[in-house]
Chains A and B, each alone.
Chain A
Amino acid sequence: MKNGFLNSLLTRVAPFLGSLVIRFLRLSMRIKYENFGVLRGLLKDGNIILAFWHGRLLMMPYSYMGMGGRGLTVLVSLHRDGELISRTVGHFNIKSVRGSTTRGWVSGIKGLLRSIEGKRDVAITPDGPKGPTQKAQMGIIQIARSTGLPIVPVTFSASKKKFLRAGTGSCSPIRSQGAYSFAPLRFT
């Protein structure tokens, strides 16, 4: 009982704190944008599929915000960490649908297609949370094919950074049993 309460509290509080950390990082950093005329131009003409590696996820709200997009929906895994990611991006006005190529594929795809029908842009990590790291899966290509939307690859790096985990860390039992506290920061 007590654990349930604590868990649900952490599930709410951790993403909020995570979003504050991300905002603080953005404010404290000096960030350059290279070649984002491409994204602005495409957003002016219609919707897009934003693609980035799972390992570069943390600052990604800022690759889309202020670019003239109409609203973003991101595909997030059904894994418990997915719930935290989903709530964290919610603080940036980014919607999420749950599912992945390994689990909940159909519900994830349906949610994405519904978003696209509603004239929203969508974001996908083509290597997914389980990896293999930096290997694109076919799912994003299938969505691009059926919707006709262009895929826009984006990435992020920093002069000082930490790689928190191997990208396939989500297989670890510790992670799946939810040692919660820093989970939102645990995107490799």
Chain B
Amino acid sequence: MLPHPFSRGVFICAPPIHVGRHADAGEMEAARADLENTLNRITEEADLLMAPDKF
């Protein structure tokens, strides 16, 4: 994604995801899914925040 010069921009940071040192396969998969969902959620949120005004 290439932003246009002179446009507005937003960075969004989400709460951290921790993976235990003894996490088993199931816990690791849960962390992976959590990361994927979180990144998709904040990216969608950022796109919505930056949506050009309709009026």
Chain A interface (Cβ within 8 Å of chain B)? 24-25, 28-36, 38-39, 42, 48, 51-53, 55-56, 58-59, 62-63, 126, 134-138, 140-142, 144-146, 148, 150-164, 185, 187-188
Contact = CB atoms under 8 A, between A and B. Distances in A.
Given A134-B40, A145-B23, A154 B2 contact: no
Nearest to A42: B16
Contact of B3 (A48, A63, A150, A161): A161
Given A62-B11, A161-B4, A136 B19 contact: no
Q: Which of B4, B16, B32 gathers most chain A CB within 10 Å?
A: B16
Interface size class of B (residues with CB under 8 A): 35 or more
Interface of B: 1-21, 23, 28, 31-33, 35-36, 38-40, 42-43, 46-47, 49-52
A30 B9 contact: yes
Given A34-B12, A56-B43, A138-B32, A162 B1 contact: yes
For chain A, what secondary structure do more than half of its interface residues adopt (helix, strand, loop), or is it mixed? mixed
A154 B14 contact: yes
A35 B5 CA distance: 24
Contact of B28 (A51, A141, A153): A141
Contacts of A159: 7-9, 50-52
